[in-house]
């Protein structure tokens, strides 16, 4: 389900989806102009073609057509008119494109960055640490390397009991490099890069992309394997993720995913929970780096965890815990618009637009943001017998 829940019904569903970005209005305006210009041209051509087919159809009483070299004025008109239209559209397109690809957001020191990496058939996301800079990724060993890349310890990785893949026969070196990528460092993180030492990253793809509302966002794009295409239809964002290249796109989201619901709201079921720092009883679990609501009868168990999907059972537990209102969201969809293999249809991701304060909570990982009072306790829990919740499952 799309986050906005406002996809037009009826005839509106045949048109563009709602757009929620600063630059999207100009893109839609360009689309509308091109659509109606080409539509009018198409209709006129079809009408003329039909008229000529009827007027000059074969009839025994008609003479043969008269050959002519053409009408110079007419030919000039139908050449110059499209040229003027295309020239105008090209000038408008350059302005819209430059505002999108070379946005002023690129010079905004307050913009938020993230790296999104496509791989068959999921998206992975990396967030910069407190330094605000992203490290190097997708740096993989080659069969000719004499040493393995530096590991998390800061020392060269010990792998395959050889100093580097170059000391193996070529076929074995290729297999060793592939094994290293699969087992040791799937993201190809350069652990020697100081800019990436405090990055928030994970080896496994699939987690959602979080961005702040009404704030400049810089998305850097990469690909681990084949050509992918990162697209956010509701934000008019689209760019290929090309292996060996780092693409960059900028946008400012103007639609927030999270909002407050009554615990009795019929719209709450199926949405994902956002546990705010001010939620009564909230605790931060250092083991999972996220918030949870502990079970009052057994602190080792959770009523629910942050980002869990709300079903009837979870809503009943929240209600029993005394909550009358909760914050929840439906994510926006990230799609791959490039045929990237047999599993292409399953390559979908999620983006969640949260308030600046909520994003600060997300960035701080349990530490009290500067704009929030210290209300959340940080705990380490022995989770014996507890089933952890993923973003698509409720906690028990």
DSSP state letter for 289: T
Residue with tokens 């069969």: 143
Tell how strand 259-262 and strand 298-305 pair up.
unpaired
- In angstroms, rounded to a whole number, what is the distance separating the alpha carbons of residues 355 and 327? 11
Which of 212, 209, 247, 221 has its CA nearest to residue 332? 209
pLDDT score of 379 more than 80:
no
In 135-170, which positions are buried (b, 16+ CB within 10 angstroms) versus exposed (e)?
A: bebbebbebebeebbebeeeeebebbebebbeebee
What letter does residue 84 receive in the DSSP assignment? H
pTM of the model: 0.81
Instruction: In whole angstroms, give the CA distance from residue 192 to residue 151.
Output: 8
Q: Which residues contact 349 (CB under 8 A, 6 or more apart)?
A: 122, 123, 206, 208, 209, 333, 334, 335
Query: Packing angle between helix 72-101 and helix 24-55, nearest 10 degrees?
Result: 160
Over pLDDT 70: what percentage of the chain? 88
Tell me the average pLDDT across 191-198.
91
Per cent of the chain over pLDDT 90 is: 58
User: For residue 265, is pLDDT > 80?
Assistant: yes
Computed over every residue of the chain, the mean pLDDT equals 85
> 47-51, 113-117, 385-389: lowest mean pLDDT where?
385-389
CB 273 within 8 A of CB 310: yes
User: Which residue in this structure is represented by tokens 């039909």?
Assistant: 50
- Using DSSP bridges, classify how beta strands 283-285 and 290-295 pair: parallel, antiparallel or unpaired: antiparallel
Q: What letter would DSSP give residue 396?
A: -
Query: Does the structure show a pLDDT above 60 at 383?
Result: no
Question: Higher pLDDT residue, 142 or 66?
Answer: 142
What's the pLDDT at 62? 74
To which H or E segment does residue 88 belong? helix 72-101
Give the residue from 174, 154, 156, 158 showing the smallest Cα distance to 166.
174
Q: Please give the pLDDT value at position 374.
A: 40
Distance, in Å, from the CA atom of 88 to the CA atom of 96, rounded to the nearest integer, reads 13
Environment class of 373 (CB within 10 Å of its CB; exposed 0-12, middle 13-18, buried 19+) = exposed
Separation of alpha carbons 191 and 168, rounded Å: 24
Phi first, then psi: give them for residue 326, nearest 5 degrees.
-140, 155
| Cα 20 to Cα 59: distance, rounded to the nearest angstrom | 59
Q: Which of 10-14, 143-147, 293-297, 304-308 has the lowest mean pLDDT?
A: 10-14
pLDDT band at 382 (very low <50, low <70, confident <90, very high): very low
Confidence check: pLDDT of 373 > 70: no
- Written as six digits, the tokens of 382 are 């022995």
Residue 126 makes CB contacts below 8 A (sequence gap 6+) with: 114, 115, 116, 117, 134, 137, 187, 199, 200, 201
Query: Residue 222 pairs with which residues in a beta bridge?
Result: 117
Q: Given pLDDT bands bounded at 50, 70 and 90, which one contains residue 229?
A: very high
Distance between CA atoms of residues 183 and 181, nearest Å: 6
Q: How many Å apart are CA 280 and CA 323, to the nearest integer?
A: 8
**How far, in Å, are 13, 209, 336, 371 from residue 339 at the CA level?**
24, 22, 8, 44
Sheet architecture: strand order including 228-232: 209-212, 348-354, 332-336, 228-232, 237-241
For domain 111-251, say whether CATH 1.10.10 is its number: no
């Amino acid at each position: 389900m799309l986050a906005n829940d406002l996809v037009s019904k009826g005839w509106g569903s045949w048109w563009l989806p709602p757009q929620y970005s600063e630059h999207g209005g100009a893109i839609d305006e360009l689309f509308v102009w091109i659509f109606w210009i080409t539509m009018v041209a198409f209709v006129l051509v079809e009408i003329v073609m039909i008229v000529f087919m009827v007027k000059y159809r074969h009839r025994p009483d008609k003479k043969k057509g008269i050959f002519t070299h053409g009408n110079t004025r007419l030919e000039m008109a139908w050449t110059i008119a499209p040229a003027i239209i295309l020239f105008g559209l090209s000038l408008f397109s350059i302005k819209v494109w430059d505002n999108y690809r070379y946005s002023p957001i690129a010079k905004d020191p307050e913009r938020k960055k993230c790296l999104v990496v496509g791989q068959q058939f999921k998206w992975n996301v990396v967030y910069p640490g407190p330094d605000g800079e992203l490290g190097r990724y997708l740096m993989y060993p080659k069969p000719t390397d004499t040493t393995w890349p530096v590991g998390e310890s800061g020392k060269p990785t010990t792998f395959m009991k050889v100093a580097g893949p170059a000391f193996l026969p070529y076929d074995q070196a290729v297999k060793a490099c592939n094994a290293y990528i699969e087992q040791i460092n799937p993201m190809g993180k350069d652990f020697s890069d100081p800019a990436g030492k405090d990055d928030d990253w994970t080896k496994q793809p699939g987690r959602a992309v979080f961005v702040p509302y009404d704030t400049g966002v810089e998305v850097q794009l990469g690909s681990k394997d084949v050509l992918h295409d990162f697209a956010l239809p509701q934000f008019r964002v689209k760019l290929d993720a090309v292996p060996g290249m780092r693409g960059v796109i900028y946008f400012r989201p103007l639609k927030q995913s999270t909002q407050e619901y009554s615990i009795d709201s019929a719209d709450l079921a199926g949405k994902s929970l956002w546990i705010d720092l001010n939620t009564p009883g909230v605790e931060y679990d250092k083991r999972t780096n996220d918030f949870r609501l502990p079970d009052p009868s057994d602190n080792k168990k959770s009523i629910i965890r942050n980002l869990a999907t709300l079903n009837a059972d979870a809503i009943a537990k929240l209600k029993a815990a005394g909550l009358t209102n909760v914050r929840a969201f439906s994510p926006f969809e990230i799609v791959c618009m490039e045929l990237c293999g047999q599993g292409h249809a399953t390559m979908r991701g999620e983006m969640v637009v949260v308030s600046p304060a909520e994003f600060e909570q997300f960035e701080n990982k349990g530490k009290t943001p500067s704009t929030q009072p210290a209300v959340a306790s940080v705990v380490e829990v022995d989770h014996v017998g507890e089933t952890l919740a993923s973003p698509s499952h409720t906690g028990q």
